A and B are shown apart, each in its own frame.
Chain A
Amino acid sequence: MATPGHLEIRNVSKTYALPGRPLVNVLSHVGFDVDPGAFVTIVGPSGCGKSTLLRLIIGLDDDYRGDILLNGRRIVGTALSRGIVFQDHRLLPWLTLQQNIGLSLENSGWSAKEKASAIRDHIGLVGLSGFEKAYPHELSGGMAQRAAIARGLANRPEILLLDEPLGALDALTRVHLQAEIQRIWEAEGVTMILVTHDVEEAVFLSNRVVVMSANPGRIVEDVAVDLPFPRDRAHVDFIALKRRILAAMGEDERRPASPRAA
Protein backbone atom coordinates (compact mmCIF):
# COMPACT_ATOMS: atom_id res chain seq x y z
CA MET A 1 0.00 0.00 0.00
CA ALA A 2 1.26 3.44 -0.85
CA THR A 3 1.98 5.92 1.91
CA PRO A 4 -0.58 8.64 1.29
CA GLY A 5 1.01 12.04 0.87
CA HIS A 6 0.14 15.24 2.68
CA LEU A 7 0.19 18.11 0.21
CA GLU A 8 0.39 21.75 1.23
CA ILE A 9 -0.02 24.51 -1.29
CA ARG A 10 0.98 27.84 0.22
CA ASN A 11 0.33 31.18 -1.35
CA VAL A 12 1.24 30.04 -4.86
CA SER A 13 1.22 32.66 -7.61
CA LYS A 14 2.28 32.43 -11.21
CA THR A 15 2.35 34.94 -14.02
CA TYR A 16 2.88 34.43 -17.72
CA ALA A 17 4.62 37.07 -19.74
CA LEU A 18 3.73 37.05 -23.40
CA PRO A 19 5.74 39.43 -25.58
CA GLY A 20 3.88 42.71 -26.16
CA ARG A 21 1.08 41.91 -23.74
CA PRO A 22 0.33 42.68 -20.12
CA LEU A 23 1.28 40.04 -17.56
CA VAL A 24 -1.31 37.31 -17.10
CA ASN A 25 -2.02 36.25 -13.53
CA VAL A 26 -2.53 32.55 -14.05
CA LEU A 27 -2.53 31.83 -10.33
CA SER A 28 -2.93 34.38 -7.60
CA HIS A 29 -2.23 33.51 -3.96
CA VAL A 30 -3.60 30.00 -4.18
CA GLY A 31 -3.38 27.98 -1.00
CA PHE A 32 -4.95 24.84 0.38
CA ASP A 33 -4.04 21.65 2.18
CA VAL A 34 -4.74 18.11 1.08
CA ASP A 35 -4.88 15.60 3.93
CA PRO A 36 -3.16 12.25 3.51
CA GLY A 37 -5.41 9.87 1.65
CA ALA A 38 -7.96 12.53 0.72
CA PHE A 39 -9.62 12.97 -2.66
CA VAL A 40 -9.67 16.64 -3.57
CA THR A 41 -11.08 17.97 -6.80
CA ILE A 42 -10.31 21.33 -8.35
CA VAL A 43 -13.08 22.65 -10.55
CA GLY A 44 -13.29 25.86 -12.47
CA PRO A 45 -13.83 27.35 -15.89
CA SER A 46 -11.22 27.13 -18.65
CA GLY A 47 -8.33 29.45 -17.97
CA CYS A 48 -8.67 29.45 -14.18
CA GLY A 49 -5.22 27.91 -13.83
CA LYS A 50 -6.31 24.53 -12.49
CA SER A 51 -4.22 22.55 -14.96
CA THR A 52 -1.31 24.94 -14.46
CA LEU A 53 -1.51 24.19 -10.75
CA LEU A 54 -1.26 20.46 -11.46
CA ARG A 55 1.82 21.06 -13.64
CA LEU A 56 3.42 22.86 -10.71
CA ILE A 57 2.57 20.03 -8.31
CA ILE A 58 3.90 17.32 -10.64
CA GLY A 59 7.07 19.36 -11.10
CA LEU A 60 6.99 20.05 -14.85
CA ASP A 61 7.13 23.77 -14.15
CA ASP A 62 8.97 25.38 -11.25
CA ASP A 63 8.61 29.00 -12.23
CA TYR A 64 6.22 30.21 -9.52
CA ARG A 65 6.13 32.07 -6.23
CA GLY A 66 5.03 30.41 -2.99
CA ASP A 67 5.58 26.91 -1.71
CA ILE A 68 4.31 23.47 -2.58
CA LEU A 69 5.18 20.90 0.06
CA LEU A 70 4.69 17.15 -0.03
CA ASN A 71 4.96 15.59 3.43
CA GLY A 72 6.63 18.77 4.62
CA ARG A 73 9.30 18.90 1.91
CA ARG A 74 9.28 21.41 -0.93
CA ILE A 75 8.79 19.64 -4.22
CA VAL A 76 11.66 19.85 -6.69
CA GLY A 77 11.27 18.69 -10.27
CA THR A 78 9.44 15.47 -11.09
CA ALA A 79 9.65 12.45 -8.81
CA LEU A 80 8.24 8.96 -8.65
CA SER A 81 6.45 9.90 -5.41
CA ARG A 82 4.08 12.00 -7.55
CA GLY A 83 2.16 10.30 -10.34
CA ILE A 84 -0.08 11.87 -12.95
CA VAL A 85 -2.76 10.79 -15.41
CA PHE A 86 -3.13 13.14 -18.35
CA GLN A 87 -6.25 13.90 -20.32
CA ASP A 88 -4.80 12.09 -23.34
CA HIS A 89 -3.80 8.66 -22.08
CA ARG A 90 -0.27 9.23 -23.36
CA LEU A 91 0.57 5.55 -23.60
CA LEU A 92 3.55 5.01 -25.86
CA PRO A 93 2.16 3.34 -29.00
CA TRP A 94 5.24 1.13 -29.50
CA LEU A 95 5.01 -0.46 -26.07
CA THR A 96 2.50 -3.07 -25.00
CA LEU A 97 0.24 -2.37 -22.06
CA GLN A 98 2.57 -4.08 -19.61
CA GLN A 99 5.64 -2.40 -21.08
CA ASN A 100 3.92 0.96 -20.79
CA ILE A 101 3.22 0.37 -17.13
CA GLY A 102 6.72 -1.02 -16.69
CA LEU A 103 8.14 2.25 -18.00
CA SER A 104 7.04 3.96 -14.80
CA LEU A 105 9.09 1.42 -12.82
CA GLU A 106 12.34 1.88 -14.79
CA ASN A 107 13.91 3.91 -12.00
CA SER A 108 12.03 2.48 -9.06
CA GLY A 109 15.03 0.45 -7.96
CA TRP A 110 12.83 -2.62 -7.57
CA SER A 111 13.83 -6.14 -8.55
CA ALA A 112 12.47 -7.62 -11.77
CA LYS A 113 10.15 -9.79 -9.70
CA GLU A 114 8.74 -6.85 -7.74
CA LYS A 115 8.23 -4.94 -10.97
CA ALA A 116 6.44 -7.84 -12.63
CA SER A 117 4.11 -8.27 -9.69
CA ALA A 118 3.39 -4.52 -9.45
CA ILE A 119 2.55 -4.51 -13.16
CA ARG A 120 0.31 -7.55 -12.83
CA ASP A 121 -1.45 -6.19 -9.73
CA HIS A 122 -2.20 -2.83 -11.29
CA ILE A 123 -3.41 -4.27 -14.58
CA GLY A 124 -5.78 -6.34 -12.44
CA LEU A 125 -6.72 -3.31 -10.34
CA VAL A 126 -7.96 -1.38 -13.38
CA GLY A 127 -9.68 -4.46 -14.84
CA LEU A 128 -7.44 -5.01 -17.85
CA SER A 129 -6.19 -8.53 -17.10
CA GLY A 130 -5.78 -10.40 -20.36
CA PHE A 131 -4.65 -7.29 -22.24
CA GLU A 132 -1.05 -7.30 -21.00
CA LYS A 133 0.38 -7.70 -24.48
CA ALA A 134 -2.03 -5.43 -26.33
CA TYR A 135 -0.71 -2.31 -28.03
CA PRO A 136 -2.43 1.00 -27.26
CA HIS A 137 -4.11 1.15 -30.68
CA GLU A 138 -5.86 -2.08 -29.79
CA LEU A 139 -7.48 -0.53 -26.71
CA SER A 140 -10.62 1.58 -26.58
CA GLY A 141 -10.44 5.11 -25.15
CA GLY A 142 -11.74 3.98 -21.77
CA MET A 143 -9.34 1.03 -21.61
CA ALA A 144 -6.41 3.27 -22.52
CA GLN A 145 -7.35 5.65 -19.74
CA ARG A 146 -7.55 2.74 -17.28
CA ALA A 147 -4.08 1.73 -18.42
CA ALA A 148 -2.86 5.28 -17.80
CA ILE A 149 -4.29 5.12 -14.27
CA ALA A 150 -2.50 1.80 -13.72
CA ARG A 151 0.74 3.38 -14.93
CA GLY A 152 0.23 6.34 -12.60
CA LEU A 153 -0.26 4.05 -9.61
CA ALA A 154 2.18 1.22 -10.37
CA ASN A 155 5.19 2.76 -8.62
CA ARG A 156 3.04 3.43 -5.53
CA PRO A 157 3.22 7.21 -5.48
CA GLU A 158 2.27 9.20 -2.38
CA ILE A 159 -0.04 11.30 -4.48
CA LEU A 160 -1.77 10.81 -7.82
CA LEU A 161 -2.78 13.79 -9.93
CA LEU A 162 -5.57 13.38 -12.44
CA ASP A 163 -5.70 16.07 -15.11
CA GLU A 164 -9.19 15.79 -16.63
CA PRO A 165 -8.58 12.08 -17.20
CA LEU A 166 -12.12 11.42 -18.37
CA GLY A 167 -12.57 14.58 -20.42
CA ALA A 168 -12.11 12.89 -23.78
CA LEU A 169 -14.42 9.93 -23.12
CA ASP A 170 -18.06 9.44 -24.02
CA ALA A 171 -20.66 10.06 -21.30
CA LEU A 172 -21.40 6.41 -20.53
CA THR A 173 -17.74 5.38 -20.26
CA ARG A 174 -17.13 8.47 -18.15
CA VAL A 175 -19.79 7.60 -15.59
CA HIS A 176 -18.49 4.08 -15.44
CA LEU A 177 -14.87 5.11 -14.97
CA GLN A 178 -15.88 7.55 -12.23
CA ALA A 179 -17.12 4.59 -10.24
CA GLU A 180 -13.88 2.77 -11.05
CA ILE A 181 -11.73 5.68 -9.88
CA GLN A 182 -13.73 5.80 -6.65
CA ARG A 183 -13.12 2.09 -6.11
CA ILE A 184 -9.42 2.37 -6.98
CA TRP A 185 -8.95 5.33 -4.64
CA GLU A 186 -10.45 3.36 -1.76
CA ALA A 187 -8.46 0.25 -2.63
CA GLU A 188 -5.09 2.04 -2.94
CA GLY A 189 -5.57 4.60 -0.15
CA VAL A 190 -3.51 7.10 -2.10
CA THR A 191 -4.00 10.88 -1.99
CA MET A 192 -5.66 11.97 -5.21
CA ILE A 193 -6.12 15.40 -6.75
CA LEU A 194 -8.46 15.64 -9.70
CA VAL A 195 -8.85 18.54 -12.06
CA THR A 196 -12.10 18.64 -14.00
CA HIS A 197 -14.79 20.95 -15.15
CA ASP A 198 -17.46 18.34 -14.63
CA VAL A 199 -19.09 19.37 -11.33
CA GLU A 200 -21.02 16.14 -10.98
CA GLU A 201 -17.79 14.18 -11.31
CA ALA A 202 -16.27 16.38 -8.59
CA VAL A 203 -19.14 15.80 -6.15
CA PHE A 204 -19.27 12.09 -6.95
CA LEU A 205 -15.61 11.46 -6.17
CA SER A 206 -14.29 13.97 -3.68
CA ASN A 207 -13.97 14.63 0.04
CA ARG A 208 -13.47 18.24 -0.91
CA VAL A 209 -14.05 20.42 -3.90
CA VAL A 210 -11.92 23.50 -4.46
CA VAL A 211 -13.64 25.95 -6.78
CA MET A 212 -11.43 28.24 -8.84
CA SER A 213 -12.16 31.24 -10.96
CA ALA A 214 -10.26 32.93 -13.77
CA ASN A 215 -8.62 36.38 -14.17
CA PRO A 216 -6.75 36.05 -11.97
CA GLY A 217 -6.76 32.30 -11.29
CA ARG A 218 -7.80 32.04 -7.65
CA ILE A 219 -9.80 29.96 -5.19
CA VAL A 220 -13.33 31.23 -4.70
CA GLU A 221 -14.76 28.46 -2.58
CA ASP A 222 -13.68 25.36 -0.73
CA VAL A 223 -16.55 22.89 -0.28
CA ALA A 224 -16.39 19.83 1.98
CA VAL A 225 -18.37 16.87 0.66
CA ASP A 226 -19.48 14.60 3.51
CA LEU A 227 -21.85 12.28 1.66
CA PRO A 228 -21.25 8.55 2.18
CA PHE A 229 -19.64 6.47 -0.61
CA PRO A 230 -20.77 5.19 -3.05
CA ARG A 231 -22.73 8.31 -3.84
CA ASP A 232 -26.17 8.59 -5.32
CA ARG A 233 -26.21 11.15 -8.09
CA ALA A 234 -29.95 11.61 -7.72
CA HIS A 235 -29.89 12.24 -3.95
CA VAL A 236 -31.14 15.62 -2.87
CA ASP A 237 -27.95 16.42 -0.92
CA PHE A 238 -25.85 15.50 -3.95
CA ILE A 239 -27.85 17.86 -6.12
CA ALA A 240 -27.74 20.62 -3.54
CA LEU A 241 -23.95 20.42 -3.40
CA LYS A 242 -23.73 20.41 -7.17
CA ARG A 243 -25.88 23.52 -7.27
CA ARG A 244 -23.77 25.25 -4.64
CA ILE A 245 -20.56 24.58 -6.56
CA LEU A 246 -22.09 25.68 -9.85
CA ALA A 247 -23.22 28.87 -8.17
CA ALA A 248 -19.70 29.46 -6.88
CA MET A 249 -18.46 29.04 -10.45
CA GLY A 250 -21.07 31.54 -11.61
CA GLU A 251 -22.78 28.79 -13.57
CA ASP A 252 -25.98 28.36 -11.57
CA GLU A 253 -28.33 26.55 -13.89
CA ARG A 254 -31.45 28.21 -12.47
CA ARG A 255 -30.33 31.52 -13.89
CA PRO A 256 -30.24 32.14 -17.60
CA ALA A 257 -26.74 31.33 -18.77
CA SER A 258 -24.61 34.43 -18.80
CA PRO A 259 -22.52 34.88 -21.90
CA ARG A 260 -18.97 34.03 -21.00
CA ALA A 261 -15.81 34.14 -22.97
CA ALA A 262 -14.51 30.64 -23.64
Chain B
Amino acid sequence: MANTSDTIEGAAVEAGTVDRPTPRRFGFGRVGRAPNLIGFILPFLILSLWQIAAARAWVDPVFLPAPLTVVTAFWKMATKQHLARDFVASITIVGQAFIYGSVVAVALGIAAGLSRKVEQFFGPTFDTIRHIPGIAWLPLIVLWLGIGAPAKVLVIAKSVFFPVFLNTLQGIRSVEKNYIELAKVLTLTRWQLVRKVILPAAMPSIMVSLRYAAGLAWALVVVAEGLSGLEGLGFLIFRAQGLLLTDQLLVCMVIIGLVGFAIDRSMYVAQKRVLKWKQGYDG
Protein backbone atom coordinates (compact mmCIF):
# COMPACT_ATOMS: atom_id res chain seq x y z
CA MET B 1 0.00 0.00 0.00
CA ALA B 2 2.65 2.46 1.01
CA ASN B 3 4.67 1.79 -2.12
CA THR B 4 2.11 3.56 -4.33
CA SER B 5 3.11 6.89 -2.91
CA ASP B 6 6.76 6.87 -3.86
CA THR B 7 6.11 5.87 -7.48
CA ILE B 8 3.49 8.52 -8.04
CA GLU B 9 4.52 11.53 -6.10
CA GLY B 10 7.88 11.65 -7.80
CA ALA B 11 6.41 11.41 -11.27
CA ALA B 12 5.80 14.37 -13.48
CA VAL B 13 3.44 14.67 -16.39
CA GLU B 14 5.15 14.45 -19.73
CA ALA B 15 6.14 17.57 -21.53
CA GLY B 16 3.42 19.74 -22.92
CA THR B 17 0.64 18.68 -20.59
CA VAL B 18 -1.65 21.31 -19.19
CA ASP B 19 -3.18 19.01 -16.64
CA ARG B 20 -1.39 19.52 -13.41
CA PRO B 21 -1.31 16.59 -11.03
CA THR B 22 -2.17 17.68 -7.55
CA PRO B 23 -0.11 16.01 -4.86
CA ARG B 24 -2.49 14.06 -2.71
CA ARG B 25 -2.38 11.69 0.20
CA PHE B 26 -2.34 8.10 -0.84
CA GLY B 27 -3.65 4.92 0.68
CA PHE B 28 -4.96 5.07 4.19
CA GLY B 29 -2.15 7.14 5.62
CA ARG B 30 -4.58 9.15 7.68
CA VAL B 31 -5.43 6.19 9.84
CA GLY B 32 -1.86 5.94 11.03
CA ARG B 33 -1.37 9.55 12.04
CA ALA B 34 -0.52 10.55 15.61
CA PRO B 35 -3.43 10.00 18.01
CA ASN B 36 -5.37 13.14 18.62
CA LEU B 37 -5.66 13.92 22.31
CA ILE B 38 -8.86 15.92 22.01
CA GLY B 39 -10.88 12.71 22.32
CA PHE B 40 -9.48 12.03 25.78
CA ILE B 41 -10.75 15.23 27.34
CA LEU B 42 -14.33 14.11 27.89
CA PRO B 43 -13.49 10.68 29.39
CA PHE B 44 -11.08 12.43 31.74
CA LEU B 45 -13.77 14.89 32.83
CA ILE B 46 -16.28 12.10 33.41
CA LEU B 47 -13.74 10.15 35.43
CA SER B 48 -12.91 13.21 37.52
CA LEU B 49 -16.55 13.95 38.21
CA TRP B 50 -17.08 10.32 39.21
CA GLN B 51 -14.09 10.47 41.59
CA ILE B 52 -15.30 13.72 43.14
CA ALA B 53 -18.84 12.40 43.53
CA ALA B 54 -17.52 9.29 45.29
CA ALA B 55 -15.01 11.19 47.47
CA ARG B 56 -17.62 13.70 48.63
CA ALA B 57 -20.11 10.86 49.19
CA TRP B 58 -22.73 12.55 47.00
CA VAL B 59 -23.97 9.08 46.13
CA ASP B 60 -24.20 6.00 48.33
CA PRO B 61 -21.25 3.69 47.45
CA VAL B 62 -23.72 0.84 46.93
CA PHE B 63 -25.03 2.75 43.94
CA LEU B 64 -21.79 4.32 42.80
CA PRO B 65 -18.51 2.93 44.14
CA ALA B 66 -15.35 5.02 43.68
CA PRO B 67 -13.22 4.47 40.55
CA LEU B 68 -10.46 2.94 42.65
CA THR B 69 -12.90 0.42 44.16
CA VAL B 70 -13.88 -0.55 40.65
CA VAL B 71 -10.23 -1.05 39.67
CA THR B 72 -9.73 -3.21 42.76
CA ALA B 73 -12.81 -5.20 41.87
CA PHE B 74 -11.41 -5.69 38.39
CA TRP B 75 -8.17 -7.01 39.83
CA LYS B 76 -10.04 -9.37 42.11
CA MET B 77 -12.26 -10.61 39.28
CA ALA B 78 -9.28 -11.12 37.01
CA THR B 79 -7.10 -12.95 39.54
CA LYS B 80 -9.41 -14.69 42.01
CA GLN B 81 -12.46 -15.23 39.82
CA HIS B 82 -12.79 -16.15 36.16
CA LEU B 83 -13.13 -12.83 34.37
CA ALA B 84 -10.84 -13.95 31.57
CA ARG B 85 -12.90 -17.08 30.98
CA ASP B 86 -16.13 -15.09 30.85
CA PHE B 87 -14.54 -12.56 28.56
CA VAL B 88 -13.32 -15.26 26.17
CA ALA B 89 -16.77 -16.87 26.27
CA SER B 90 -18.42 -13.62 25.14
CA ILE B 91 -15.82 -12.85 22.49
CA THR B 92 -16.03 -16.37 21.07
CA ILE B 93 -19.78 -16.18 20.72
CA VAL B 94 -19.60 -12.79 19.02
CA GLY B 95 -16.77 -13.85 16.74
CA GLN B 96 -18.54 -17.00 15.59
CA ALA B 97 -21.90 -15.29 15.21
CA PHE B 98 -20.38 -12.43 13.24
CA ILE B 99 -18.50 -14.70 10.86
CA TYR B 100 -21.39 -17.10 10.23
CA GLY B 101 -23.96 -14.33 9.93
CA SER B 102 -21.94 -12.10 7.64
CA VAL B 103 -20.57 -14.86 5.38
CA VAL B 104 -24.07 -16.22 4.75
CA ALA B 105 -25.42 -12.68 4.38
CA VAL B 106 -22.84 -11.59 1.80
CA ALA B 107 -23.26 -14.83 -0.16
CA LEU B 108 -27.05 -14.67 -0.22
CA GLY B 109 -26.95 -10.90 -0.73
CA ILE B 110 -24.84 -11.36 -3.85
CA ALA B 111 -27.14 -14.11 -5.11
CA ALA B 112 -30.23 -12.00 -4.52
CA GLY B 113 -28.54 -8.91 -5.93
CA LEU B 114 -27.69 -10.69 -9.15
CA SER B 115 -31.00 -12.45 -9.61
CA ARG B 116 -34.48 -11.04 -9.11
CA LYS B 117 -35.73 -14.63 -8.88
CA VAL B 118 -33.56 -15.33 -5.83
CA GLU B 119 -34.61 -12.04 -4.26
CA GLN B 120 -38.29 -12.81 -4.84
CA PHE B 121 -37.83 -16.31 -3.48
CA PHE B 122 -36.37 -15.14 -0.17
CA GLY B 123 -38.01 -11.72 0.08
CA PRO B 124 -41.29 -12.34 1.91
CA THR B 125 -39.76 -14.88 4.31
CA PHE B 126 -36.82 -12.69 5.19
CA ASP B 127 -38.89 -9.57 5.59
CA THR B 128 -41.07 -11.35 8.12
CA ILE B 129 -38.27 -13.02 10.08
CA ARG B 130 -36.34 -9.76 10.11
CA HIS B 131 -39.07 -8.09 12.12
CA ILE B 132 -38.94 -10.61 14.94
CA PRO B 133 -36.04 -9.32 17.07
CA GLY B 134 -33.20 -11.70 17.77
CA ILE B 135 -33.96 -11.56 21.45
CA ALA B 136 -37.53 -12.71 20.78
CA TRP B 137 -36.07 -15.74 19.03
CA LEU B 138 -33.88 -16.59 22.00
CA PRO B 139 -36.46 -18.35 24.23
CA LEU B 140 -37.46 -20.73 21.45
CA ILE B 141 -33.90 -21.39 20.36
CA VAL B 142 -32.87 -22.03 23.97
CA LEU B 143 -35.68 -24.59 24.20
CA TRP B 144 -34.15 -26.35 21.23
CA LEU B 145 -30.45 -25.91 21.79
CA GLY B 146 -30.16 -25.35 25.53
CA ILE B 147 -28.63 -22.42 27.37
CA GLY B 148 -25.12 -22.94 25.97
CA ALA B 149 -23.24 -20.97 23.34
CA PRO B 150 -24.89 -22.40 20.17
CA ALA B 151 -28.27 -20.79 20.90
CA LYS B 152 -26.64 -17.38 21.37
CA VAL B 153 -24.45 -17.77 18.30
CA LEU B 154 -27.52 -18.55 16.24
CA VAL B 155 -29.56 -15.64 17.54
CA ILE B 156 -26.75 -13.12 17.13
CA ALA B 157 -25.85 -14.47 13.71
CA LYS B 158 -29.44 -13.81 12.72
CA SER B 159 -29.13 -10.21 13.90
CA VAL B 160 -25.87 -9.81 11.99
CA PHE B 161 -27.34 -11.40 8.89
CA PHE B 162 -30.05 -8.90 8.05
CA PRO B 163 -28.23 -5.58 7.91
CA VAL B 164 -25.40 -7.20 5.93
CA PHE B 165 -27.75 -9.03 3.58
CA LEU B 166 -29.84 -5.95 2.87
CA ASN B 167 -26.83 -3.71 2.33
CA THR B 168 -25.13 -6.21 0.05
CA LEU B 169 -28.30 -6.48 -2.01
CA GLN B 170 -28.71 -2.72 -2.08
CA GLY B 171 -25.06 -2.18 -2.90
CA ILE B 172 -25.27 -4.49 -5.89
CA ARG B 173 -28.50 -2.97 -7.11
CA SER B 174 -27.10 0.53 -7.04
CA VAL B 175 -24.10 -0.21 -9.27
CA GLU B 176 -24.03 2.47 -11.94
CA LYS B 177 -25.52 1.36 -15.23
CA ASN B 178 -22.64 3.08 -17.01
CA TYR B 179 -20.22 0.58 -15.51
CA ILE B 180 -22.33 -2.34 -16.71
CA GLU B 181 -22.32 -0.78 -20.16
CA LEU B 182 -18.55 -0.42 -20.01
CA ALA B 183 -18.21 -4.09 -19.05
CA LYS B 184 -20.29 -4.94 -22.11
CA VAL B 185 -18.07 -2.83 -24.37
CA LEU B 186 -14.99 -4.57 -22.93
CA THR B 187 -16.73 -7.92 -23.56
CA LEU B 188 -16.38 -9.03 -19.94
CA THR B 189 -17.99 -12.35 -19.08
CA ARG B 190 -20.63 -12.49 -16.36
CA TRP B 191 -18.12 -13.77 -13.84
CA GLN B 192 -15.62 -11.03 -14.75
CA LEU B 193 -18.43 -8.50 -14.44
CA VAL B 194 -19.30 -9.71 -10.95
CA ARG B 195 -15.71 -9.92 -9.76
CA LYS B 196 -14.27 -6.79 -11.34
CA VAL B 197 -17.25 -4.45 -11.39
CA ILE B 198 -20.25 -5.42 -9.30
CA LEU B 199 -18.56 -6.62 -6.12
CA PRO B 200 -16.11 -3.73 -5.81
CA ALA B 201 -18.92 -1.29 -6.50
CA ALA B 202 -21.01 -2.86 -3.75
CA MET B 203 -18.09 -3.02 -1.33
CA PRO B 204 -18.59 0.38 0.37
CA SER B 205 -22.11 -0.54 1.28
CA ILE B 206 -21.07 -4.04 2.43
CA MET B 207 -18.27 -2.64 4.60
CA VAL B 208 -20.56 -0.13 6.30
CA SER B 209 -23.00 -2.88 7.18
CA LEU B 210 -20.24 -5.16 8.49
CA ARG B 211 -19.03 -2.42 10.79
CA TYR B 212 -22.54 -1.79 12.04
CA ALA B 213 -23.22 -5.51 12.45
CA ALA B 214 -20.02 -6.09 14.44
CA GLY B 215 -21.07 -3.46 16.98
CA LEU B 216 -24.57 -4.82 17.08
CA ALA B 217 -23.32 -8.36 17.70
CA TRP B 218 -21.24 -7.23 20.65
CA ALA B 219 -24.15 -5.36 22.20
CA LEU B 220 -26.44 -8.34 21.71
CA VAL B 221 -24.16 -10.89 23.34
CA VAL B 222 -24.49 -9.03 26.62
CA VAL B 223 -28.25 -9.20 26.43
CA ALA B 224 -28.28 -12.83 25.32
CA GLU B 225 -25.94 -13.90 28.11
CA GLY B 226 -27.97 -11.94 30.62
CA LEU B 227 -31.11 -13.77 29.56
CA SER B 228 -29.68 -17.28 29.55
CA GLY B 229 -26.52 -19.14 30.42
CA LEU B 230 -24.02 -19.22 33.22
CA GLU B 231 -20.99 -17.44 31.85
CA GLY B 232 -19.93 -14.43 29.84
CA LEU B 233 -19.84 -10.72 30.56
CA GLY B 234 -23.61 -10.45 30.17
CA PHE B 235 -24.11 -13.14 32.78
CA LEU B 236 -21.66 -11.38 35.14
CA ILE B 237 -23.34 -8.03 34.82
CA PHE B 238 -26.79 -9.36 35.69
CA ARG B 239 -25.41 -11.50 38.49
CA ALA B 240 -23.61 -8.46 39.91
CA GLN B 241 -26.86 -6.54 39.86
CA GLY B 242 -28.67 -9.32 41.69
CA LEU B 243 -25.96 -9.51 44.36
CA LEU B 244 -25.65 -5.72 44.59
CA LEU B 245 -21.97 -5.97 43.59
CA THR B 246 -22.05 -2.57 41.92
CA ASP B 247 -18.27 -2.43 41.56
CA GLN B 248 -18.29 -5.66 39.55
CA LEU B 249 -21.21 -4.40 37.53
CA LEU B 250 -19.22 -1.30 36.61
CA VAL B 251 -16.17 -3.38 35.73
CA CYS B 252 -18.28 -5.30 33.23
CA MET B 253 -19.77 -2.12 31.81
CA VAL B 254 -16.37 -0.55 31.26
CA ILE B 255 -15.02 -3.70 29.61
CA ILE B 256 -18.06 -3.90 27.34
CA GLY B 257 -17.62 -0.28 26.36
CA LEU B 258 -13.90 -0.57 25.68
CA VAL B 259 -14.24 -3.78 23.68
CA GLY B 260 -17.06 -2.25 21.65
CA PHE B 261 -14.83 0.73 20.96
CA ALA B 262 -11.98 -1.54 19.89
CA ILE B 263 -14.25 -3.56 17.60
CA ASP B 264 -15.56 -0.43 15.93
CA ARG B 265 -12.09 1.02 15.43
CA SER B 266 -10.72 -2.16 13.93
CA MET B 267 -13.69 -2.39 11.58
CA TYR B 268 -13.02 1.20 10.59
CA VAL B 269 -9.40 0.44 9.78
CA ALA B 270 -10.46 -2.62 7.80
CA GLN B 271 -12.99 -0.51 5.93
CA LYS B 272 -10.39 2.14 5.10
CA ARG B 273 -8.01 -0.52 3.90
CA VAL B 274 -10.51 -2.27 1.66
CA LEU B 275 -11.84 1.02 0.31
CA LYS B 276 -8.53 2.78 -0.12
CA TRP B 277 -9.56 3.68 -3.65
CA LYS B 278 -12.40 5.75 -2.33
CA GLN B 279 -11.97 9.42 -1.74
CA GLY B 280 -14.08 10.58 1.13
CA TYR B 281 -14.51 13.63 3.28
CA ASP B 282 -11.94 13.29 6.03
CA GLY B 283 -12.92 16.25 8.19
Contacts and interface: CB of A to CB of B under 8 A. Distances in A.
A78 interface: yes
B203 A60 contact: no
Interface string B171-209: 000000011011011111100100011001101000000
A135 interface: yes
Contact of A137 (B14, B19, B192, B279): B279
Given A129-B11, A132-B7, A103 B186 contact: yes
Nearest to A139: B21
Contacts of A86: 178, 182
A95 to B, nearest CB: 8
Given A90-B179, A90-B182, A140-B21, A133 B4 contact: yes
A80 B187 contact: yes
A106 to B, nearest CB: 6
A94 B203 contact: yes
Contact of B13 (A60, A80, A96, A127): A127
Contacts of A142: 17-19
B120 interface: no
| Interface band, chain A | 35 or more
Contact of A173 (B16, B19, B182, B196): B19
B184 A78 contact: yes
A140 B182 contact: no
A134 B278 contact: no
A115 to B, nearest CB: 13
Interface string A127-158: 11111111111111111001000000000000
Contacts of B21: 131, 138-140, 143
Contact of B185 (A84, A94, A136, A141): A84
Contacts of B131: none
Contacts of A90: 178-179, 182
B79 interface: no
A256 to B, nearest CB: 35
B11 A92 contact: no
Nearest to A141: B19
Interface of B: 4, 7-8, 10-14, 16-22, 24, 26, 178-179, 181-182, 184-189, 192, 196-197, 200-201, 203, 276-279
Given A60-B184, A107-B192, 7 more contacts: A93-B277, A106-B186, A127-B17, A134-B8, A137-B278, A138-B21, A140-B19
